Amino acid sequence: MLNNLLLHPTAGQNTGLLWLGVALVVAAIICNGVASGKVSNEQRDPKQNRKGIILALLAGIIMSFFSALVYNGVDLDNFAAPAAGKLTPYTAMVIFSLGVFLSNFVVNTIVMKKPFVGEPVTYKQYFAGSFGTHLVGILGGCIWALGTALNYLCAGTAGAAVSYALGQGAPLVAAIWGVFIWKEFKGAPKQVYGLLALMFALFIAGLSCVVVAGM
């Protein structure tokens, strides 16, 4: 979001309220992590915990750049007739998707051979998976691509920073599925449900701040 604020500022945008919204969302994610830790019965390796935190931080830093870089190539002021050398959100999404698809052959192969956790996996094992399992992965990719495309489209009106911040409401959807669909916290102590209630309240408050900041 910081990259979008610096590279693609929007006139009239309430920056303070936007930062408050992001801070509330971060607090909600922390509550979710604490709640998950309280219901896990598995013996956790401290080294694996540290590795997970480092990977999450690195992934977050890397991910923070892609949106601003894509917007650099898009004419946010005129989607219908972009300036010379600029793209429409639709064209940008096609090019971005091709980049993700092609780079996946390199990145996925490396992670399969050198996994962060567990044993290495071969492509033979990958293709041995059921059609239904692969279909779920494809469906997830389609949903993500649709959400990203809509994110690009609303950037022209809401601004790049607000658009990206709203896109980070995805953890809220994941939390809803985990709590109400997959029943991940079934039978958990009352304090865990208190943390979950606080998490949802913080998420809603944070996303509301982001929406108001762009008005």
Beta carbons within 10 angstroms of residue 191's beta carbon: 11
Residue 190 banded pLDDT, cuts 50, 70, 90: confident
What is the Rg, in whole angstroms, of the alpha carbon atoms belonging to the chain?
A: 20
Instruction: List the structure tokens of 29.
Output: 């994610």
pTM, to two decimals: 0.75
Residue 98 banded pLDDT, cuts 50, 70, 90: very high
Contact assessment for residue 202 and residue 25, using Cβ atoms and an 8 Å cutoff: yes
In angstroms, what CA-CA distances link 38 with 26, 28, 97? Answer: 19, 16, 38
Residue 10's closest CA among 158, 152, 153?
158
Question: Rounded to a whole number, what is the largest CA-CA distance in the chain?
Answer: 59
Which residue has tokens 């969302």?
25
What local confidence, expressed as pLDDT, does residue 40 receive?
A: 62
Q: Which residue has the higher pLDDT, 98 or 211?
A: 98
What local confidence, expressed as pLDDT, does residue 175 receive?
A: 83
How do residues 150-180 score in pLDDT, each as one tens digit?
888 888 888 887 887 777 777 788 888 888 9
Coil, strand, or helix at residue 121?
coil
Which residue has tokens 């658009």?
163
Check pLDDT > 90 for residue 89: yes
What local confidence, expressed as pLDDT, does residue 213 receive?
A: 81
